[in-house]
Copies of this chain bind each other. A is one copy, B any other.
Amino acid sequence: MTERLSLFDTTLRDGQQTQGVQFSTPEKLKIAAALDGLGLDYIEGGWPGANPTDSAFFETARTERATMTAFGMTKRAGRSAANDDVLAAVLNARTPAVCLVGKSHPYHVEAALGISREENLENIRASIAHCVAEGREALFDAEHFFDGYAADPGYARACLEAALEGGARWAVLCDTNGGTLPVRIGEVVSDLVATGLPGDRLGIHTHNDTEMAVAGSLAAIDAGARQIQGTLNGLGERCGNANLVSLLPTLLLKEPYASRFETGVTREALAGLTRVSRMLDDVLNRVPMKQLPYVGASAFAHKAGLHASAVVKAPDLYEHVPPESVGNARVVPMSNQAGRSNLKRRLAEAGIAVAEDDPALGRILDTVKAREDEGYAYDTAQASFEMLAREELGLVPDFFEVKRYRVSVERRKNKYNKMVSLSEAVVVVKIDGEKKLSVSESMDETGGDRGPVNALAKALAKDLGPYQEMIEDMRLVDFKVRITQGGTEAVTRVIIDSEDGAGRRWSTVGVSANIVDASFSALIDAVNWKLCRDVVDAPSQSAVRA
């Protein structure tokens, strides 16, 4: 017999407490649509009244399946719930569900609110009852619950009871300061259930201050709670909330959870999880963390040469879940430690089939090794690795040849006596025997200078003859530089991430003592990779894995 587990997302409310995070209304709508698509039960959209953006969101947000929830606070003492304007603003958002936060730690009640313990219990009961009377499903977030339970278990418990008596569907145990260890969370929930509180009306809300928000949520479920509150990518105040992106696959794919519980999230929806996680990073303009459990670019990356041949034969012996179950993919990158089997595998993934005994395999390995000694790194720069391999295999057409380039940066005072800079680049290429000179300066919409690499990229992209069309949707999205050792000299290693209109993203590397030169060489690799994909591979539509 499976039991129903309820999943409550608070990315748009607690997640917005993350330092530096402030969602616009369109961004909130986009995230809500993704959460709804995943199949989560509740979406907490914000605190209407307290925040104008949140009110605007509730006016337009519509869900297919998820219950839209407004966040608010239990009423203040000395007035009725019906006369509390803060509570009224929350109800005015007209969401089917309302989640009210209230105190459950006696010290916070007396010192922070300055009211009696009994008044607080009454505030909880009456506020929840009012929401229910208004036809809403009500949830109660018991703030500082675990610290309160340590200080006075009877009182903390009474707060939950007040909420449940008021008609709350869920009473949620919040580890507000984030310091309660999973073992302790499990003990407390067990106590509550053993003394008669209904587990299927208890929820858990943890924070990641000891790096155990996910484990703490599961400990509560193991002990009988039946709702988890969390956020996408673990957004949230301080170190973040419980990360639903890590919790969902564990709940759906791993025992004892997979056979014991049923959630609103299907296996099909789970296969879109990586995309949802990256979409959020995109909204936040963050580089996705490679090490993220399940959805990170490194989550199924195999490094050691030893493993590489075995993982292809029996992936389940080397991977705790299949990468495709969460919409992720296996990566077998190149590195010093890689062997021939890594190489074959990586080539196959790039759509390049090579016979086991092809002597090019050995040459490719030698070239990788030699380049790594010069300071190149092919671990991240998969597209440059691919170009190197294609070169050795004779698979790269002569698209164009760069004959020379020149770039200058000048900084001086403008007519308003302000220091300004300007970059200008000239690139000379030869295509099909024809020489083409292009010049470009680097200037954004505001007249600001974006620097020499930008100017070079623009000049190069200005006229590539028959290939012009294919590179027009290319964009340089990230740029990383470090000084490293190349032989006996310090050299500059530049890694460039590019993106195109089809949503492909690929990384290339360039190395030189001259930073502009290193950047230009990474840029050329990026353009050639794109041309290879569009010109050489286009008919076969090979999978993109850069």
Using C-beta atoms within 8 Å of the partner chain, give the interface range for chain A. 35 or more
Whether the pair B314, A514 counts as a contact (CB closer than 8 A) is no
Q: Which residue of B lies closest to A404 (CB)?
A: B412
Interface presence of A418 (CB below 8 A): no
Interface presence of A66 (CB below 8 A): no
Whether the pair B451, A209 counts as a contact (CB closer than 8 A) is no
Whether the pair A514, B317 counts as a contact (CB closer than 8 A) is no
Whether the pair B449, A513 counts as a contact (CB closer than 8 A) is yes
Residues of B within 8 A of A181 (CB): 218, 250, 254
Residues of B within 8 A of A298 (CB): 18-19, 238-239
Residues of B within 8 A of A249 (CB): 210
Interface presence of A107 (CB below 8 A): yes
Interface presence of A391 (CB below 8 A): no
Interface presence of A166 (CB below 8 A): no
Contact residues of A between 428 and 474, Cβ < 8 Å to B: 442, 444, 448-453
State the copy count for this chain: 2
Taken residue by residue from 382 to 411, chain A's Cβ proximity to chain B (1 for < 8 Å, 0 otherwise) reads as: 000000000000000000000111111111
Q: Which residue of B lies closest to A492 (CB)?
A: B451
Residues of B within 8 A of A484 (CB): 24
Whether the pair A517, B17 counts as a contact (CB closer than 8 A) is no
Given contacts A250-B210, A406-B409, contact A514 B107 (CB under 8 A): no
Q: Which stretch of A188-196, A271-279, A289-297, A525-533 is in the interface?
A: A289-297
Interface presence of A67 (CB below 8 A): no
Whether the pair A293, B211 counts as a contact (CB closer than 8 A) is yes
Whether the pair A304, B17 counts as a contact (CB closer than 8 A) is yes
Whether the pair A407, B408 counts as a contact (CB closer than 8 A) is yes
Residues of B within 8 A of A319 (CB): 177
Interface residues of A (CB under 8 A from B): 17-20, 22, 24, 50-51, 105, 107-108, 111-112, 144, 147, 177-183, 208-212, 214-215, 218, 222, 234, 237-240, 243, 246, 249-250, 254, 285, 289-294, 296-301, 303-304, 306, 310, 313-314, 317-321, 331, 333, 335-337, 377, 379-380, 403-413, 421, 423, 442, 444, 448-453, 478-485, 489, 492, 512-517, 520
- Sort A-B residue pairs by CB-CB distance and give the 8 closest, nearest first: A179-B320, A215-B215, A481-B481, A451-B514, A404-B412, A211-B246, A408-B408, A406-B410
